[in-house]
């Protein structure tokens, strides 16, 4: 999409998770895509008008590209193809979302940093700004669990449930531990915070490297491994499952403290 003009937009329904808006098509057609970028779990499409199209895939959303516009609308699209972007290159970019938990929203020029979704996000976990000192500031004075803080997008952007669980196991930290116990009274990070930052980065890099693997393959250390032996060498613990914030947490009660 980068550098291409959007020649036509087919909004095949008026809403996804939220309404698209009455001016959705008009604000997109004829505009050139300046940049396509990511912020946490959001896609940001910057337009020549200054607007930014904020996109979230939800649970089942996906994009595919199709060469040529094809026959009239409705004849060549799949049932859950909800929005189609036809580009000056002759390629159509199609958004498909069976469950419609995804959304698209146009944000006016200069509004991304204050947007209700994107503007409240914490640092990117793979960015240079995500350090032990930054994480310690998020953990300080937090009486809630360590997992709850890591799952909060205001403190770490885009870190999902599975990878929080996996990172905590790598760092040997209990998901039930009070977050503030990893920070000294002066606010300095204890050594475990640095280990946790490294574990988060390692887990995400491994996930990216193995992105071609099918979901459900045995690629996790503790997630969904309830009742199995802890994979850490020399540990005799058995993986336990608990619920935190309505989500499943898997951990080893022996080596994670």
- The pLDDT value recorded for residue 72 is 45
Measured in whole angstroms, the distance separating CA 104 from the mean position of its chain's CA atoms is: 15
- The pLDDT value recorded for residue 217 is 58
Structure confidence by residue, pLDDT tens digits, 24-81: 999 999 999 999 999 999 999 999 999 999 999 998 999 999 986 554 454 567 889 9
Q: Residue 16: pLDDT above 80?
A: yes
- The pLDDT value recorded for residue 69 is 53
Give percent of the chain above pLDDT 70. Answer: 94
Q: Share the mean pLDDT of the chain.
A: 93
Measured between alpha carbons, how far is 45 from 52 in angstroms, rounded to an integer?
5
Question: Average pLDDT of 152-165?
Answer: 93
Nearest CA-CA partner of 182 in 153, 150, 140: 140
Q: Residue 215: pLDDT above 60?
A: no
207 Cβ contact partners less than 8 Å away, ≥ 6 residues apart: 163
Count H helices, E strands: the chain?
5, 10
Q: Residue 135: pLDDT above 50?
A: yes
- The pLDDT value recorded for residue 210 is 86
Structure confidence by residue, pLDDT tens digits, 171-214: 999 999 999 999 999 999 999 999 999 999 999 999 989 876 65
- The pLDDT value recorded for residue 212 is 66
* Residue 216 pLDDT class (50, 70, 90 cuts): low
Domain extent listing, the chain = 6-114, 132-251
The fold of 132-251 is Helicase, Ruva Protein; domain 3 (1.10.8)
Question: Average pLDDT of 94-109?
Answer: 96
155-159, 189-193, 236-240: least confidently modelled range: 155-159
Nearest CA-CA partner of 242 in 234, 250, 252, 231: 250
The fold of 6-114 is N-terminal domain of MutM-like DNA repair proteins (3.20.190)
Give the pTM: 0.82
Q: Residue 129: pLDDT above 60?
A: yes
Measured between alpha carbons, how far is 138 from 241 in angstroms, rounded to an integer?
26
């Amino acid at each position: 999409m980068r550098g291409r003009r959007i020649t036509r937009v087919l909004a095949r329904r008026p809403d996804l998770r939220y309404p698209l808006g009455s001016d959705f098509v008009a604000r997109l057609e004829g505009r050139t895509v300046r940049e396509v970028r990511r912020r946490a779990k959001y896609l940001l499409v910057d337009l020549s008008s200054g607007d930014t199209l904020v996109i979230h895939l939800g649970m089942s959303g996906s994009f595919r590209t199709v060469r040529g516009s094809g026959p009239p609308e409705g004849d060549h699209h799949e049932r859950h193809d909800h929005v189609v972007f036809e580009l000056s290159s002759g390629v159509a970019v199609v958004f498909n979302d069976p469950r419609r938990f995804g959304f698209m929203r146009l944000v006016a020029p200069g509004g991304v940093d204050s947007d209700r979704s994107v503007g409240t996000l914490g640092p990117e976990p793979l960015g240079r700004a995500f350090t032990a000192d930054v994480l310690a500031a998020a953990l300080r004075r937090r009486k809630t669990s360590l997992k709850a803080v890591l799952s909060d997008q205001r403190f770490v952007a885009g870190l999902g449930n599975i990878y929080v669980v996996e990172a905590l196991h790598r760092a040997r930290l209990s998901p039930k531990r009070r977050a503030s116990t990893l920070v000294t009274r002066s606010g300095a990070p204890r050594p475990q915070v640095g280990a946790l930052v490294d574990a988060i980065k390692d887990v995400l890099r491994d996930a990216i490297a193995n992105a071609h693997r099918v979901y459900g393959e045995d690629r996790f250390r503790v997630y969904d491994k309830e009742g199995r032996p802890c994979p850490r060498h020399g540990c005799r613990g058995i993986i336990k499952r608990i619920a935190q914030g309505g989500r499943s947490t898997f951990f080893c009660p022996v080596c994670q403290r």
